[in-house]
Structure 1
Amino acid sequence: MKEFVVIHDFLVSEAVVGDWDGQEELVAENLNEIYHTLYDYAEEDIEPEVLNQLLALVWENWIGQDALAEIESSDISDWCQNLLANRDQYLTE
């Protein structure tokens, strides 16, 4: 059911990430990689509301983190897997 979630509604451009001392493009790319990875890892039958909430957590958790400019793909993968595995801790009713 994840096909009902439009990933492009979450993707960001460098214009919306704020000031990152010239690293806005990299930060936007990293955020978009997190969005795509989380979407890809989510099971096919995930409830759309659940996936939307999880995708919304990406911005909430990452936009203020200095590590966003330096994060590696392996760390993104680990974070997304952890979020999906522990989703009950993060989701609101």
Structure 2
Amino acid sequence: MKEFVVIHDYLVTQEIVGDWDGQEEEVAERINEIYHTLYDLAEEDIESEVLMQILELVWDAWIGQESLPELETDDIYDWCRHVIENREQYLQESN
């Protein structure tokens, strides 16, 4: 159940994201936007464990991507929707 997952446990600050040549604030904002979008797109009755596993994919998938500071909201939404719709594939790949 979605309501048992605390999204604030996943959110990051610019200190956590590491060195991005002055773009740490933008990177933290994009990562947090990804977390929030995934959470919002997940259905209300999603199993808590599944949602947590999906949210745990974000850091590994994005923290090394050079395009992260310039990522647009539409791109974030599209990626998150794809992950939610194809969660079984993503969760298998992460194990």
TM-score range, shorter chain: over 0.9
> 1:91, CA displacement in angstroms?
1.1
Give me the whole-angstrom Cα distance separating, in 2, the residues matched to 1:36 and 1:19: 23
So what's the TM-score if we normalise by structure 1? 0.97
Unaligned runs of 5+ residues in structure 2 are: none
Give me the whole-angstrom Cα distance separating, in 1, the residues matched to 2:38 and 2:67: 18
Give me the whole-angstrom Cα distance separating, in 2, the residues matched to 1:34 and 1:86: 16
Give me the whole-angstrom Cα distance separating, in 2, the residues matched to 1:26 and 1:69: 5
Question: Is 1:31 paired with 2:44?
Answer: no
So what's the TM-score if we normalise by structure 2? 0.95
Aligned to 2:68: 68
Counterpart of 2:56 in structure 1: which amino acid? Answer: A
Aligned to 1:47: 47
Cα RMSD of the aligned pairs, angstroms, is 0.9
> 1:62, CA displacement in angstroms?
0.2
Give me the whole-angstrom Cα distance separating, in 1, the residues matched to 2:23 and 2:85: 31
Identity fraction in percent: 68
Give me the whole-angstrom Cα distance separating, in 2, the residues matched to 1:23 and 1:83: 26
Residue 67 of structure 2 aligns to a residue in which SS? helix
